[in-house]
C-alpha cells in the first residue's frame, strides 16, 4: 500500500500501486493548484481523514476538488456522480520515490483538450 498525504498528514490517500503516468494540466484551476494528477478508479483509492475535506466545484459541478481543511493542500478530485469511473489524486503528495519512473504527460486543458505529447 502506498500512502499520499497532505503536508500536515490530516488527509491521506491509499493506493495499491504507484502511477506509471501523471498528468500536468494547464486548465485554469490545475495550473493554479500546481498539481500532477494520477488517475485511478474510485475503487482503488481509500481516502482517510480525521476531518471533512473542503471541496470546490465550478463550471458544470461534475468534479469536486478536495483539500485539507488544516494545511490547504489539494489532495484529489472526485466525480460528483457516484457512477463516475475515475478520479485523480495529487501525485505531488506521494512519496518522491513513487514518481521517479512516472511519465509526465502534458494536457492542454486550456484550449485544445488534448495531450500535447
Please state the pTM of the whole predicted model: 0.94
Return the C-alpha cell found at 72. 490547504
Q: Do 2 and 94 meet the contact criterion of CB atoms below 8 Å apart?
A: yes
For residue 102, the SS3 value is coil
In angstroms, how far apart are the furthest CA atoms of the chain? Answer: 39
- Predicted local confidence at residue 91, as pLDDT: 98
Q: Do 39 and 90 meet the contact criterion of CB atoms below 8 Å apart?
A: no
CA distance 92 to 38: 9
The domain spans of the chain are 2-115
**CATH class as words, domain 2-115:** mainly beta
Total count of residues recorded for the chain: 117
Phi, psi of 92 (to 5 degrees): -65, -15
Q: Write out pLDDT tens, residues 32-87.
A: 999 999 999 999 999 999 999 999 998 899 999 999 999 999 999 999 999 999 99
- Predicted local confidence at residue 63, as pLDDT: 95
Amino acid at each position: 500500500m502506498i500512502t499520499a498525504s497532505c503536508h500536515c498528514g490530516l488527509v491521506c490517500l491509499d493506493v495499491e500501486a504507484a502511477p506509471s503516468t501523471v498528468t500536468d494540466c494547464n486548465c485554469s484551476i490545475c495550473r493554479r493548484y500546481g498539481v500532477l494528477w494520477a488517475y485511478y478508479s474510485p475503487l482503488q483509492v481509500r481516502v482517510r481523514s480525521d476531518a471533512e475535506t473542503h471541496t470546490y466545484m465550478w463550471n458544470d459541478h461534475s468534479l469536486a476538488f478536495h483539500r485539507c481543511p488544516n494545511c490547504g493542500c489539494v489532495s484529489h478530485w472526485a466525480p460528483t456522480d457516484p457512477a463516475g469511473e475515475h478520479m485523480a489524486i495529487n501525485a505531488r503528495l506521494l512519496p518522491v520515490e513513487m514518481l521517479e519512473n512516472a511519465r509526465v504527460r502534458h494536457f492542454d486543458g486550456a484550449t485544445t483538450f488534448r495531450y500535447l505529447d
